[in-house]
A and B are shown apart, each in its own frame.
Chain A
Amino acid sequence: MSGLVLNNVSKQFGTFTAVENVQLSVPHGTFVCMLGPSGCGKTTLLRMIAGLDDPTSGSILLDGQDITKVPTHKRNLGMVFQSLALFPHLTVGENIAYPLRIRGAAREDQKKRVDELLALIHLTGFGDRPVSKLSGGQRQRVAIARALALSPKLFLLDEPLSALDAKLREAMQVELRQLQQKLGITTIVVTHDQREAMTMADTVVVMNGGHIRQAASPIEIYRRPADTFVADFIGSTNLIETRANSSGVATVFGNPVPGFALPDGVQTATISVRPEDVHLTAPGNGAIDGTVTFVRDLGGTIETFVETGGKQIIAVSTPRERPDVVAGQAVGIVLSPEVCVVLKQ
């Protein structure tokens, strides 16, 4: 198949296992974000794809060809480093032309390609400037242009936007996604910022402890998290213990949720309910009874903290749809069956 395939890839540093038995396939032209807390193995995985680290076991295939043993400089990829790694002794233009120059491209061809790329990143006319005279966002774009100079098969980015301030970062996320769609290049970005992953990716790969916990589209990751780690790591959520009652209906804090059943043979499970899916009503009428402990009004949204069965449940709503409640008030919680996601143990 065309695209990138990781087959049972593991990496060990001494006794520490950074990546364990990772199985992943990235179809050609896809934008993948690898997301996870620091130390989860995402950067190690990216470095193995780039050939900067060798897998301890497993294989890496690009367009059907095994590249596990191919040295970095023969893999035909473009990579943007966290530090950007722009060469300080070269100008902007010379940095972008570097991959062409070392292949002995003619001077005119180098210049033509550099001009094209500078136009692509909206920095026309910056070719002769020293790298040190650029702003953070400009450097970012130069690093991207340099990585794309040879139209590589694979575009890898390691925390590329982490050095930028929040506003610029959001703008660059959009720009990067648009650029990738324009070029149709297979792209893998490592990030710890879930907003970044949600904005850019076709596929989000959530990693923890050297394992892939879930690989799916951003909306599926959010709506149908596979396990407690993913549910908790992506956005905020309520993790609630449920138990099947004698008639097969799942109960939450002893109250049956009509129409919601646990899978066959499962007696207890943890479910994830996003705060915006928690509806507050008047107590009684089969609702789960609880007491409001705190209200956080953020203007655009309001978070209501409700205590029930010794646990805290958070409900988020817009000011319009929310009943007027204050701390200390008794309320009812209503969960509809489709918002309760059963998580893997």
Chain B
Amino acid sequence: MIHWLKRFYFLGIGLFLALPLIVVAGVSVNAKQTLAFPPQGFSLGWYGEIFTNPEWRAALVASVVLATTSAALAVLIALPLSWFLWRRIAPWANIFQVLGIAPFTLPPVITALGLLTFWATTGFYGQPWTAVIGHAIFFVTLPLVTLSLGFSAIDRSFVEAAATMGANDRTIFRTIVLPLILPYLVSGYAFAFVLSLNEYIVAYMTVGFTLETLPIKIFNALRYGYTPTMASVTVLFVFIAALIFSLVARFGDLPKLLGAMASDEP
């Protein structure tokens, strides 16, 4: 009885999570420009539309460029910071760790509004590059958390052993620290990338009128004209997220990244 109850529960939650996506996937293959479900006819044309329609393609490119660069910037901020905190005894520097985690913990509208007033005051409001900085600051939390976790997992005797064998600080970083931290670096980048791809409010409030990212484009389409392309983009996004997180799980230790104990611990 208990066994069936368990299965039923997993099925229920799974269905709840999957149902909207199933319907959207159904809508995305409609033959005509209608949001009907079950779909009327079958066509993959709306997937082609993402790449052939200049507006959707521009939004896709804008989103991918934004996600690629802002995640890279977030990692560039997080790596030296988390390395410094691990390498040195400087308790006061933990304030920067807190500052790095704050934007993600507060409601997003706060960071968005802060950046909006800042760019408006400094006269850069609407410049597309401001979105890169905005997302990097907003998502720096993710590489910061994965890297801190990664550093705490490095046995300090590795570093000491390398020093006794003649490695200086720089060599140790290049030959020991970097290879050991790499999986955490990649995971941090992946998390920041996927979330930046999906982010709406910071991008909307800082560059909403000059740069149309995919989430902004979908929202505008929701208001001004439904099209099944919205559905195909959604399916594409779910696919990308699932693919990237599967890769993280394949090459890293996902349960450990999410805070569970290391799988090889007794």
Contact = CB atoms under 8 A, between A and B. Distances in A.
Nearest to B176: A87
A88 interface: yes
A102 B157 contact: no
Contacts of A76: 166
Interface residues of B, number: 17
Contact of A81 (B161, B166, B171): B161
B175 interface: yes
B180 A73 contact: no
Given A98-B175, A102-B171, A87 B158 contact: yes
Given A102-B167, A102-B171, A150-B166, A79 B161 contact: yes
Contacts of B168: 71, 73
Interface in B151-169: 155, 157-158, 160-168
B162 A98 contact: yes
Interface string B168-198: 1001000110011000000000000000000
A133 interface: no
Contacts, number: 66
By CB atoms of chain A within 10 A, which of B158, B160, B162, B168 has the most?
A: B160
A100 B19 CA distance: 59
A147 interface: yes
A147 B164 CA distance: 8
B177 to A, nearest CB: 11
Given A76-B166, A102-B171, A85 B161 contact: yes
Contacts of B160: 50, 52, 72, 79, 81, 85
B163 A72 contact: yes
B256 to A, nearest CB: 15
A316 B160 CA distance: 46
B166 A73 contact: yes
A76 B157 CA distance: 17
Contacts of A77: 164
Interface in A66-107: 71-79, 81-83, 85, 87-89, 98-99, 101-103
Interface string A140-177: 00000011011000001000000000000000000000
Nearest to A90: B179
29 contacts: A52-B164, A72-B160, A73-B164, A73-B165, A73-B167, A73-B168, A74-B166, A78-B165, A79-B160, A81-B160, A83-B155, A85-B158, A85-B161, A87-B158, A88-B180, A98-B162, A98-B167, A99-B165, A99-B166, A99-B167, A101-B175, A102-B162, A102-B165, A102-B166, A102-B175, A146-B165, A147-B165, A150-B165, A150-B166
Interface of B: 155, 157-158, 160-168, 171, 175-176, 179-180
Interface of A: 50-52, 71-79, 81-83, 85, 87-89, 98-99, 101-103, 146-147, 149-150, 156
